[in-house]
Copies of this chain bind each other. A is one copy, B any other.
Amino acid sequence: MGVRTREEYIEGLRQHKPNVYMEGEKIENIVDHPAFQVGLNSAAVTFEQANHPDYRDLARVWSPLVNEEVSRWTYLMQDEQDALAKVKLNRGLNDFLCPCHYRCLTSDLLHASWAVSYEIDRNHNTSYHQNVIEIVKQAQKNDWIIGGGLVSPKGDRSKGPDEQTDPDMYLHVVKKNADGIVVRGAKAHGTAAPYTDMLCVVEFQLLPDYCVGFFTPVDAEGITLICRAPHAPTEPKDMDNPLSSRFGGHVEAMMVFDDVFVPWERVFMCGETESIVTFGSILSASHMWHKCLCRWINMDLSIGATALIADYNSVENAPHIFDALSEMAMDAEIVNACAVAAAVEGSKHESGVYYPKMSPVATGKVYAAKKLGEHRYHMQDVAGGLVGTMALEKDYRSPVVGKYLEKYYQGREGVPTEDRVRAFKLIEDLTASEFAGWYHVMCITGGSPSKTLKDMVAMEGDFEGRKERAKLAAKIEKQ
């Protein structure tokens, strides 16, 4: 079962009993709850790809660790060829239309925890790495989705974890004993958390109690998930929200950890503060890399939708519209190029895993975030105002007024009116729906704020080496 089907994934979820609340109500069965369907569809996409004839070979790879074929999403990359294969695989998800499959974090977290535990063991004679090996084996054998608990609420951002009025603003260890540790705090932005197979929770502050990393089942005692339905219709809206009513984002969760016990065999970091750099940089590089590729998928679809509506409006060859399409295509090239370069210029960690280079993908992620508004501008500008004013499907189907819409929404000769209506609705879904709002947030602030990413690029920017070359050019002698 190194590669699951969508059905096996869903069935697996039935075994968990997470403590989930939504709009003030307790949800006992998320798998069959209407508000979870869109999220489940989205999360299931990588399983579908792995079972699709076109992607089967690319999606699976032999893992010596478990001696069987596993999903590329649970596999640990060894070299740049692995990284380039991953680029292709991720890009191929454009055929599955899913704006956010969430599987990236599974990969990010396994690589980062593998490396950091190896380093800590070497420096501290601990035995965390074996814990991670066991988790990786299970993840590979069972084709897990691993959820991330990474961002604490932080309270007053001008203060450190130990300066807050309430010490729980950052998740921390409140007790340790021979069996394990007890943690308290919360993790915001728990996207998709309720329907993952395992959580990986990390706090990486420079204070020992606030430096901890562990795996935990999502239904461990003391964990409460306060959820919000996806920013997408929870009922079928085939015409009005053709994309988001199927794949429109995820359930979001605020995850509260109210004195949760974690046995030592699931811990991989606990107080070794010097290690957070390794963990953070591998996690970020890997996550930004996936962000670039997912943004490429979105750009790919945005370009397609723009070209389609231009065609249906009979203006595809207007020079300013062709120019808009070209600009969008160039942006897609840049974001892809950043991902490819990061794959080629990555590093091999001493623990054996290979990970992409940070600065190209930090750049690509910021670039994509900045371009999102521009792409939406192009899409709407090419389409026209009907993106916001078009009547809804119920009117279109109405025996009384439907005939007017059928008549007046027609576009280029030869294109059925309904197709043109659907193309407009797609653009509304991509640029002006509630889902579009959620996707915007995910692109702008998701993963990391731009400032942090820019700082990372600067850190790898070799300004001192560059100054030396400038001195050479200026004929400034060494002092």
Contact = CB atoms under 8 A, between A and B. Distances in A.
B475 A242 contact: yes
A410 B337 contact: no
A254 B388 CA distance: 12
A384 interface: yes
Nearest to A436: B437
A53 to B, nearest CB: 17
B388 A377 contact: no
Contacts of A239: 475
Contact of A24 (B158, B397, B446, B466): B397
B337 A158 contact: no
A110 interface: no
A3 interface: no
A85 interface: no
Given A158-B412, A329-B461, A457-B329, A242 B388 contact: no
A304 interface: yes
A437 B444 contact: no
Interface string A61-104: 00000000000000000000000100000000011010000000
Copy total for this chain: 4
A41 to B, nearest CB: 13
Contacts of A437: 388, 428, 431-434, 436-437
Interface residues of A, number: 151
A353 to B, nearest CB: 21
Interface string A439-479: 01110111001110011011001010111111111111001
A469 B95 contact: yes
Contacts of A442: 388
Given A21-B400, A385-B189, A408 B256 contact: yes
A430 to B, nearest CB: 8
A473 B422 CA distance: 9
A469 B227 CA distance: 31
B401 A226 contact: yes
Contacts of A21: 395, 398, 400-401
A398 to B, nearest CB: 4
A243 B471 CA distance: 10
Contacts of A313: 157
Interface stretch (A8-16, A274-282, A364-372): A364-372
Given A330-B366, A389-B228, A238 B470 contact: no
A194 interface: no
Given A254-B389, A319-B319, A376-B373, A97 B419 contact: no
- Chain A to chain B: the 4 pairs with minimum beta-carbon distance, closest first: A373-B373, A432-B437, A388-B441, A304-B466
16 contacts: A166-B410, A226-B401, A226-B404, A231-B432, A254-B391, A307-B463, A320-B323, A323-B323, A329-B458, A329-B461, A340-B341, A370-B374, A372-B377, A373-B373, A376-B440, A381-B449
